[in-house]
Chains A and B, each alone.
Chain A
């Protein structure tokens, strides 16, 4: 049961018509958000809808290109995060940045510790206030323990405590429950409600509709950088919201061509890694695209990394064809025909400071050597072939990869792996942060590759992509596979449902 939002008077936070671009990439076309005091306001949208960018504008990290930004009725223009903090805005990120060596208490008060006349820090006052804060939040954390090793849930509580001690009137929580267990979520919600009742305004960004509908009183939908709608939670349903988030006829945009589905190429059985994923079993056949859907934090990337050998696992097997893939050995995995296009393009997929040619040929260097020697001539020749096959847009092969657009960077990563002539391609978030035109190219490419017999495991948080491309959809939630849905039965609703509902028993 939620309290009706809105103390009469100016809204706590109001953004109208806000736009923001980065070079050629338009992150926000026109964003609106009006949050009242005494309210928990949900902000939903797919990846790429612009939510994170909007939050960063509110936090003062970015400056908007155009549009109004009002705080309690007054126009503001923050040039730094310090300014927004001073005005009473606090952002709780999914992964807080704390000082691991310092105590919880010091983390909350760093930079503004209470002092006496001589400048001596009053530790007792600081500690008492921390205990008091934790009491108000009804949590139990030892104020003297170092911040290191705290669970994400506790780190978030500390960030919230910090925000309250700064008397933040607007708190934005960016996907706070992604890494939380059921009990921790309950605790967080209790905290959020008590903050709301104190007259603050909360913004809750999440994909998890059961949580959104349980906690929030108002919901705003964004899509493709634009404002779509705002409603009272009681006046709408999950289906309506999902429909507005997705908003287009899915099957037209990402056609997957018919392909002959052959024998099983990738066979994963009983894969387990404590705390990350449990008893994961699935198969991918040649010519097939298997989509792996789920919410952020479900454990999909962890499975991919374990299969490829970057991370380890404690139980289970991975086989390509009939051969067992050794654990924790990416080179062996590569030699057996596995390829992984990782989630974090800039940190894991590419060496951003290196050239297109070097990046493209990085995985096949050994095959390009003559008598152990590798010349840039050989590199360039191979790079040329693959870059042009994927139509990477760049002038020269020695362009630094970090200067390419997101879409072209992704093409380079793909080129690198396709050059190894793989049998199985695992691709994690194939089109995240990529413009629409290149998206279509990547999808066409994946479709063609499947047609040529490649087995593809595609991890994606974008429903239209999953629904359009996959022959079969596996859905993961909290480390387990909760559903396997064939193409014909896969709809936004059925996938979302499986992604947000586990068995009734919380772990």
Chain B
């Protein structure tokens, strides 16, 4: 059966409604990237010692965990869910690494166990959300406490610090003379994987579709529950990787490692243009968001501004970015050509 409907296609379509430069530049992501560039330039000019390579080194060493966890977190938020338990998984993985190492297990093996535990933690989240049908906000508030509690419970108030210097210096090492930390290599690989999956695979298309309309997505054959489950497992596993790095970098496994990290990750993701309502966002904006917060912190610290002010700025930035999105949507609706859109749906049922 041939599927030609018209004798020959009679319409010509442009691929894109607007020229490339407009599409690429007039987006939230480019706004954040521009802001990032401005802040970096301002810091180079205005803050002493900022332009030293060592600043960048420490900046990247500091934000590496946030960069890593932001990757799966972005996808989770795009589907309209959230995961507040990631920092607790970091802590739990840190503790597992420490205790297993103390028990004599070589680091690579202990790391694998920790990553597996992180994945299990993510799977538990995913199970409660997709199978039991609980809201992810409530579930991950609970697992935030549970996993952190397990971490603290396992080690108590002690810390494991006697890590093989081979591993701790590896965590802090740099690539040749560039000043770029080696941890950036696995990060960039993960970034490429996530970016490719999100933008170039049916799975990634499904992630956006679920966030925009999970009902329509399921009518078109997207496996909504399975996709969400996979994302939660990924978040757990990547958080565990971040935990391993964190532990080795500071040379200390503690139950309360990375407390509060989830807030920094979410703040960076939202700042990077991902909508809390789901359905929109991209990784390049998120990376810019993480680096922006990192640079701000770094520059302000060098300028002898205290970290509390940095927190005020982070908090305010977060609020401003979401309020401004709301405002832009309100403006967009007020335009005459857009007035009919909502009403059109009523007309369809007349």
Contacts and interface: CB of A to CB of B under 8 A. Distances in A.
Complex: A in contact with B (CB within 8 Å): yes
Interface in A331-376: 331, 334, 340, 342, 345-354, 357-358, 362-363, 365-366, 369, 372-376
Given A23-B340, A397-B15, A449-B5, A365 B347 contact: no
A22 B346 contact: yes
B334 interface: no
A375 B200 contact: yes
Contacts of A122: none
Interface in B191-232: 196, 200-202, 205, 208-209, 212-213, 215-223
Given A331-B221, A389-B5, A398-B17, A351 B348 contact: no
A10 B134 CA distance: 56
A390 B15 contact: no
Contacts of A449: 5
Interface stretch (B6-14, B61-69, B96-104, B109-117): B6-14
Nearest to B339: A23
A385 interface: yes
A389 B216 contact: no
Interface stretch (A46-54, A134-142, A179-187): A46-54
Contact of A351 (B10, B14, B209): B209
Given A366-B202, A397-B16, A346 B2 contact: no
B1 interface: yes
Contacts of A162: none
Interface string A29-53: 0000000000000000000111111
A452 interface: yes
A385 B350 CA distance: 32
Contacts of A351: 209, 212-213, 216-217, 220
B14 A397 contact: yes
Contacts of A384: 9, 13
A47 B18 CA distance: 38
Given A389-B9, A397-B15, A416-B220, A22 B215 contact: no
Contact of A389 (B4, B200, B208, B349): B4
Contact of A353 (B4, B6, B223, B279): B279
B177 interface: no
A310 B346 contact: no
Contacts of A387: 11, 13
A433 B201 contact: no
A9 B209 CA distance: 57
Interface string A290-319: 000000000000000000001000000000
Nearest to A356: B13
B345 to A, nearest CB: 6
Contacts of A374: 200-202, 205
A395 B348 CA distance: 22
B331 interface: no
Contacts of B23: 398
Contact of B216 (A350, A396, A452): A350
A352 to B, nearest CB: 7
Interface in B136-180: none
Interface string A412-441: 000010100100000000001100000000
A230 interface: no
A366 to B, nearest CB: 6
B202 A369 contact: yes
A122 B1 CA distance: 72
B208 A354 contact: yes
B350 A27 contact: yes
Nearest to B219: A348
B348 to A, nearest CB: 3
Contacts of A349: 216, 219
Q: Is the interface on chain A under 10, 10 to 19, 20 to 34, or 35 or more residues?
A: 35 or more
A439 to B, nearest CB: 13
Given A310-B219, A351-B217, A453 B1 contact: yes
Contacts of B3: 389, 418, 421, 452
A445 interface: yes
Interface centre among B4, B10, B344 (most CB of A within 10 A): B344
A330 B218 contact: yes
A363 B219 CA distance: 10
Contacts of B216: 347-352
Nearest to B213: A351
Contact of A347 (B4, B9, B215): B215
Given A25-B344, A363-B221, A452 B1 contact: yes
Contacts of B308: none
Given A374-B200, A416-B220, A27 B347 contact: yes
Given A366-B202, A396-B17, A402 B341 contact: yes
A331 B223 contact: yes
A77 to B, nearest CB: 18
A433 B17 contact: no
A406 interface: yes
Contacts of A390: 5-6
A56 B217 contact: no
B350 A395 contact: no
Nearest to A418: B3
Q: Which 8 A-B pairs have the closest CB atoms?
A: A433-B348, A388-B9, A396-B17, A365-B202, A23-B340, A388-B11, A396-B14, A389-B5
9 contacts: A334-B221, A347-B213, A351-B216, A366-B202, A380-B15, A388-B12, A391-B10, A432-B348, A449-B5
Given A62-B343, A363-B221, A390-B5, 11 more contacts: A330-B220, A331-B221, A331-B223, A348-B215, A351-B217, A352-B216, A353-B213, A362-B222, A366-B202, A406-B347, A433-B347
Interface of B: 1-6, 9-18, 23, 196, 200-202, 205, 208-209, 212-213, 215-223, 279-280, 340-341, 343-350
